[in-house]
Amino acid sequence: MTSELRSRWTDAGALALVTVAVFAIVYCVNGGAAFPTDDAFINLHNAHVLRLGRDENYEGVPALVGATSGVHLALLLAFEQLVYPDTAALYVLSSLSGVAYVLGVFYVCLNMGCPRLEAALIALGSLIFAGTLFQVLNGMDTGLAMAAVAWDIKLLTDKRRTFWLPALCGVTPFVRPELSFLSAASMFIVFWEKDAAIGFKIAAAAVAALSAVPFLLWYWIDTGSLVPNTVSAKMYFFAERYAGWSDKSLLMLLAVSRAALISFPLFLCLRFVRPAAVGRMLALFVVVFLGAYFWRFPSGLLHNGGRYFYILAPIVLFGVACGLSSAFRKPTLCIVAISILFMPLGFVAQLEDYRTHIGGFQESLADVVRWMNANLTDRPMVMVHDAGYIAYAGHAALVDLVGLKTPAAMDFHKRATYPSVGLQRSRAVAEIAETFQPQYLLVLQDWDERFRLVEGLRSEGWTAREVYAGHASPNTPAALIYHLYELNRPHRGLASPSS
């Protein structure tokens, strides 16, 4: 082992230890494993269903229904065999995904010619950049997706091609569906290279296919589909595909402006990306990524603190590394210096969002579920829109009105909500209620205000009586409080015969 390689391993080990220490500090400050969104508990519930062999809350629903990332779920299952309780296992998985992301950025910087100290500082700064730390620890697949992008760029910029890149490309679409284009484009670069032997290209294609096959078979056997249902369920419920161009453009402008603000001015370094083939491929990936969201789900880029945008963070930092190691080093240093003034804005914004959701949103939801477990002992049917924590910690039978965990509900939105751009959402929800006959509705006040869930049911003849509101910290916004309503079906008696 050469001294340079030894130094790289030593630096990587030190970076990993520092990153783990940061995650350990957050763990201690939170008093244990805490997650700011309900989606994290969908992952935990899905893992529980896989271990148990059946779903006791969403009857007859396979575990992979509602699971966007098969890779993340498989890793969670593995970690649950080693770490207890399962919430701690999910936190460890999130932390190690963060470590993989930091190391990926570090090796990208080294590949581009940055000095080791500079590369280490950029890698550590990647956790501060745009408040990435709190997205990595959200209990979802965000950190894993960011790590996949970082390592894809690292392997693309290696001096020598190996089979690690095609193996990663085969798996990447099952980390996040949005990364499918990046995976295909990266393989195209491999096939386009004139220096690579034909035999290597054929073997690379085989490796990519072999790494993808287990996940394709898993989804097909479990759900009857080769792709996750989560994108379709959200697309049909939020119903933005046929919205006016002005409305969609406004949503995209808001999302992109927010992302640009918290990444300013470092995103300006994207113009320094090299080599040209990689730069063009990444630029095309960004265009396709934004175009796909604009076409079918523009508001999605604003959900969960803008978490879907964070898969672009490694690309921005790649641009910084390219600038620092090129003839543009001086202007890049100026951009980095200016970023010191702006980076705290994104970090603080994500920190506040993280604290608010852990201290209010989750506290209110946990309180309602405890009350339900203690008072609704006859295991009633409850209609929900946040399908995770109540299934993870509650005992009630559930129906997910969005369709993530109840695929049948998705069909109602596809038929009514989607083509009407949301105008017929109340009718679709009422039809879901008529089909599944829930006795209760659990709704977040913010969702009720935006989508008129309670009012919509009442307009369709249902009665909805509030029986409990979750308790949370005094500073919790009212929009983040959960309310439980008792539902009664409309009376549909026969009309009196005419006299």
What would the pLDDT profile of 397-414 be if each residue is shown by its tens digit?
A: 999 999 999 999 999 999
Task: Give yes or no: residues 13 and 91 share one domain.
Answer: yes
CATH number at residue 459: 3.40.50
Please state, in angstroms and rounded to a whole number, the distance separating the CA atoms of residues 425 and 489. 18
Q: What band does 159 get if pLDDT is binned at 50, 70 and 90?
A: very high
- Residue 446 tokens read as 């913010």
Angle between helices 198-223 and 164-171 (to 10 degrees): 20
> Which pLDDT belongs to residue 475?
84
Give the containing element (helix H, strand E) for 482: strand 482-488
Residue 497 is assigned to a structural domain of this protein: no
- Residue 441 tokens read as 């509705």
Task: Give yes or no: residues 11 and 82 share one domain.
Answer: yes
Tell me which amino acid residue 374 is: A
% pLDDT > 90, the chain: 88
Higher local confidence (pLDDT), 1 or 171: 171
Nearest to 97 by CA among 55, 57, 150, 48: 150
Residue 135 is assigned to a structural domain of this protein: yes
Task: Give yes or no: residues 317 and 436 share one domain.
Answer: no
User: How many C-beta atoms surround the C-beta of residue 99 within 10 A?
Assistant: 21
pTM of the model: 0.95
- Alpha-carbon Rg for the chain, nearest whole angstrom, is 24
Q: Give the domain-ending residue among 305, 330, 355.
A: 355
Task: Give yes or no: residues 413 and 338 share one domain.
Answer: no
Task: Give yes or no: residues 368 and 389 share one domain.
Answer: yes
Q: Give the domain-ending residue among 355, 379, 406.
A: 355
Task: Give yes or no: residues 18 and 95 share one domain.
Answer: yes
> How much is the average pLDDT of 421-428?
96
| Residue 406, domain extent | 356-488
> Which pLDDT belongs to residue 496?
40
298 prior amide bond cis, ω within 30: no
> How much is the average pLDDT of 450-470?
97
Task: Return mean pLDDT, the chain.
Answer: 94
CB–CB of 293/300 below 8 Å?
yes
> Which pLDDT belongs to residue 227?
84
Higher local confidence (pLDDT), 486 or 344: 486
Task: Give yes or no: residues 372 and 330 share one domain.
Answer: no
Task: Give yes or no: residues 363 and 310 share one domain.
Answer: no
Residue 2 pLDDT exceeds 80: no
Residue 493 pLDDT exceeds 60: no
Task: Give yes or no: residues 104 and 197 share one domain.
Answer: yes
Q: What band does 22 get if pLDDT is binned at 50, 70 and 90?
A: very high
> What are residue 484's phi and psi, to 5 degrees?
-110, 125
Task: Give yes or no: residues 56 and 117 share one domain.
Answer: yes
> How much is the average pLDDT of 445-456?
96
**Antiparallel, parallel or unpaired: β 440-444 and 463-469:** unpaired
> Which pLDDT belongs to residue 449?
96
Q: Give the domain-ending residue among 303, 323, 355.
A: 355
Residue 499 pLDDT exceeds 60: no
Residue 498 pLDDT exceeds 60: no
Residue 161 is assigned to a structural domain of this protein: yes
% pLDDT > 70, the chain: 97
The structural domain count of the chain equals 2
Cite the DSSP H helix spans in 297-418. Answer: 313-324, 329-356, 362-375, 389-393, 407-412
Task: Give yes or no: residues 318 and 346 share one domain.
Answer: yes
> How much is the average pLDDT of 274-282?
95
> Which pLDDT belongs to residue 230?
87
Task: Give yes or no: residues 41 and 186 share one domain.
Answer: yes
> Which pLDDT belongs to residue 497?
40
Residue 384 is assigned to a structural domain of this protein: yes
pLDDT digits (tens, 9 = 90+) for 328-340: 999 999 999 999 9
Residue 129 pLDDT exceeds 70: yes
